Structure 1
Amino acid sequence: MSHYSDLAIHGGRPVRSGKWPGWPISSARTVDNLQSVLDSGRWSISGPYRGTPSFEQQFARGYASYTGARHCVPASSGTSSLTMALEGCEVGARDEVIVPAVSWVASASAVLGINAVPVLTDVDPRTGCLDPAALEDAITPRCRAITVVHLGSAVADLHGLLRVAQRHGVPLIEDCAQAHGAHYDGQHVGTFGRAGTFSMQHSKLLTSGEGGAVITDDDELARRLEHLRADGRTLSGEPPPIDQMELSETAEVMGSNYCLSEFHAAVLLAQLEKLDAENAARRRSAQYLDDLLRQLGCEPQATADATTSRAYYCYVVALPDEVLLHTSVQRFAQALSVELSLSCKPMYASLNDSRLYRPETRRRFALDAEFIEAVRPQRFELPAATEFARRSIALPHRFLLAETSDMLDVQRAMEKVLAHARRL
């Protein structure tokens, strides 16, 4: 075994000092599209019509086609997309919404934001995604929606979840913020439930810095979503005169301003062109790395059996139990980061233990004693989610865009840190 000082976190030489691919990666088309927006005199869908389709609508059509959905309604963020989907499905004050226990905080805070109650629900210990059996146990007569998150590189058990949702007559909303380009049973994720939501935040596989979208096959829901994102307005059926606003004040539904700017839409339209190639490169590297890390006793994140193709937002791997007897996943991730010159992090904490999910810090959620207790995260017992978080680390997807042979550096770094776990 190497000496204690050999660990880079203790001053030793790191396994890798060279750079990994950066993220985001723009293209010539990205620059051209942005210049077109600058020159157009229209920087938002609420700006004056200039005689050509907006980039927002070009992206909406392009992403609907890409996912196989009938409609796509762009939005300003993943959180606003989830908010729109929930309200589009008529979720409101004090309604219960199923939320997977392992996810980014917005999965729960978006529910709270419409004064509904997030019901934190346990996960499949292999995938970290919502568990159909736990879902069955968590549904009550007050449940108005089920949200499922396709987490890391895993696709949830959609067939199992849909059976439960349909049996109870509750709509399923797919949160696909980490799954652009993933397919289940030959179909793009986001098209199984009543709606699929996406985030295009900086770190996402399809990104414009910030942004989002909701996809659906439901014509009525799509029209409601359009109103919800544009202050009760929707795009008129016919192009207006030049210099007039394209949004029509139908006022069918009171909305909010969740509009995606023309700059963001222009970037997304260009980035979409290279998404499939980047996803294919990530899959090749991940499949090779899976075999390398299993040789060390680590277990890469699983996905549902019917998954057709994975999309690697992050590479998640569970550490061996014997290693975690001597160190924490947090400390292990810190040491691995220094060895690889790459930011490696623990997977999300279970939402009942998340530092970011704290409803008590916002007075807007203090409606009454009953509501305060209903949204208190600590009231939920989530053993599978807690264990998944305790064991799992996540590596950012950009490293998977390196050469496949570079995955050997990851194996070497993992082997080195595993060997020194007692001294961490």
Structure 2
Amino acid sequence: MDSSLAISGGPRLSNREWPRWPQPGDRALKSLEDVLTSGRWTISCAYQGRDSYERQFASAFADYCGSAMCVPISTGTASLAIALEACGVGAGDEVIVPGLSWVASASAVLGINAVPVLVDVDPATYCLDPAATEAAITERTRAITVVHAYSAVADLDALLDIARRHGLPLIEDCAHAHGAGFRGRPVGAHGAAGVFSMQGSKLLTCGEGGALVTDDADVALRAEHLRADGRVVRRGPVGVGEMELEETGRMMGSNACLSEFHAAVLLDQLELLDGQNARRTRAADHLTDRLSELGMTAQATAPGTTARAYYRYLVRLPDEVLAVAPVERFAHALTAELGFAVTQTHRPLNDNPLNRPSSRRRFATDARYLERVDPSRFDLPAAKRAHESVVSFSHEVLLAPLDAIDDIARAFRKVLDNVREVSR
């Protein structure tokens, strides 16, 4: 039997149909049809005599996250920017940002004219490193943002302690972590605010969407103003045909409301989330056992994690393999064997083509500000090491049956056995 690699013209190890994403539930089509005929397609349209899907989702997601309040928002990026402003961050302020993350972790800070301070990650969890975080705090620091990255929960014990001692709000970015938990409580409910993305690749998705959860009534009220052009949902009775959003004049905002279509889909998806997460965790544990036998090291999570949510599955290659073949070639070989995309981590934000403030005149307020927001001024060795040694694939693959997960392990073995072929 031909054992050569698929990238060299050999047979592909697997020809399976892997799960696709997103996956609608039984409720979605009926709910979308209901929105279409309801006479109300967004919270900023006139009240029609019943709770909007947006209000229904806000209540359901607050309960799911163990938080007192939820403010639905149009995107995860907008949710993060609104959380920062709602926590008092403004022009010129410094915000701690993990150096290994999607570009929105930095661009949301730039979007409110603040300064992203890129901080290195823990080499085992790839989440914000507490020691590096504390070392980066200055008199200008006004907030810490932490991303629960890929499938890990960050060290909230240490980061909350740092935040409290320095009098800083900790904002949890849970874009990868819908359903994850720390010390028995959902992520997002530990800091001053938790923010979520519901973009199309996410574990809970409606295509594009976001949310902010918090126990702080003042943070929630400011977030409401910021996402609805300075308006908030009325607390009293609303008549049919009246506006449910009330103009308070207290705070200027912008339009970042979530549409009724998106909210309806999210209610459908929320019903499926826990079952899907359980399947992903079972598959991930099975694969980790198989890959550890091959010398691979799966992404760790912080002590205190009580539930993991696998947005992406990450595993680090052994040094002896990387000495022969670069990680991008190894990922390419796995992709060819399996028929789904295997990639590296995000590129570190100090050397990421998506994080270039100098490319937009919007940020050229003055020369000093451009110097402060130049990402190349930060050194991120652990993030760089992760990008150069870790391969990753998306969560929907983990919804496949366990015999398909075994195919993934066999593909790793095949590529390892032919690693010199990978390096060509």
TM-score norm. by structure 2 comes to: 0.98
Q: Could you say which residue in structure 1 is the equivalent of 2:294?
A: 296
Which letter maps to 2:182?
Y
1:399 is matched with 397
Q: State the match for 1:343 in structure 2.
A: 341
Match of 1:249 in 2: 247
* Paired residue secondary structure (2:255): coil
Aligned residue type for 2:393: L
How many angstroms apart in 1 are the aligned matches of 2:311 and 2:173? Answer: 13
CA distance in 1, matches of 2:421, 2:307: 39
Is 1:42 the equivalent of 2:36? no
Deviation, structure 1 residue 420: 2.0
Superimposed CA distance per residue, residues 191-212 of structure 1 (whole angstroms, 9 cap, x where no aligned partner) = 1100000000000000000000
Of residues 257, 262, 265, the one that matches 2:263 is 265
Amino acid at match of 2:70: C
Equivalent residue runs for 1:52-131 within 5 Å: 52-131=50-129
Q: 1:343 deviation in Å?
A: 1.0
Measured in 2, the distance between the counterparts of 1:296 and 1:367 equals 52
Letter of the aligned partner of 2:268 in structure 1? A
SS in 2 for 1:162: helix
Q: Deviations over 1:206-227 (max 9, x none)?
A: 0000000000000111111101
CA distance in 2, matches of 1:100, 1:422: 35
Is the contact made by 2:182 and 2:306 (CA closer than 8 Å) also made in structure 1? yes
Who is 1:189 aligned against?
A: 187
Report the TM-score, using the length of structure 1 for normalisation: 0.98
State the partner residue of 1:353. 351
Matched AA of 2:44: S
Which segment drifts farther, 296-305 or 324-333?
A: 324-333
Task: Please say if 1:423 is aligned against 2:421.
Answer: yes
Q: Deviations over 1:285-325 (max 9, x none)?
A: 00010010011111000000110010000001111111111
Aligned pairs, how many?
422
**2-side partners of 1:416 and 1:358: how far apart?**
39
- The residue type paired with residue 303 of structure 1 is T
Report how far residue 96 of structure 1 moved: 0.2
The question of 1:159 aligning with 2:162 is answered no
Does 1:136 find its partner at 2:159?
no
Correspondence 1:231 to 2:238 = no
The alignment yields a C-alpha RMSD, in angstroms, of 1.1
Q: What amino acid maps onto 1:372 in structure 2?
A: L
Which residue identity lines up with residue 36 of structure 1 in the other structure? D
Give the CA deviation at 1:372. Answer: 1.0
Task: Find the aligned partners of 2:66 and 2:299 in 1 and give their Cα distance.
Answer: 27
* Match in the other structure for 1:275: 273
Aligned match of 1:173? 171
Offset of 1:48 from its aligned partner? Answer: 1.0
Q: 2 CA distance for matches of 1:27 and 1:170?
A: 40
SS in 2 for 1:345: coil
Query: Shift of residue 407 of structure 1?
Result: 1.1
Q: 2:16 aligns with which of 10, 15, 18?
A: 18
The CA distance in 2 between the partners of 1:69 and 1:165, in whole Å, is: 20
Identity of aligned residues (%): 58
Deviation at 1:2, TM superposition (A): 6.9
2:341 is paired with a residue whose SS is coil
Q: 1: distance between equivalents of 2:407 and 2:20?
A: 17
SS, match of residue 305 in structure 1: coil
Deviation at 1:419, TM superposition (A): 2.0
Farther-moved stretch of structure 1 (237-246 vs 69-78):
237-246
Residue type of the partner of 2:11?
R
How far apart are the structure 1 equivalents of 2:210 and 2:93?
A: 24
Structure 2 distance, partners of 1:135, 1:285, is: 33
Superimposed CA distance per residue, residues 162-188 of structure 1 (whole angstroms, 9 cap, x where no aligned partner): 111111101100000000000000000
Supply the distance in 2 between the matched residues of 1:127 and 1:253 (Cα, whole angstroms): 39
Structure 2 partner of 1:320: 318
Amino acid aligned to 2:246: S
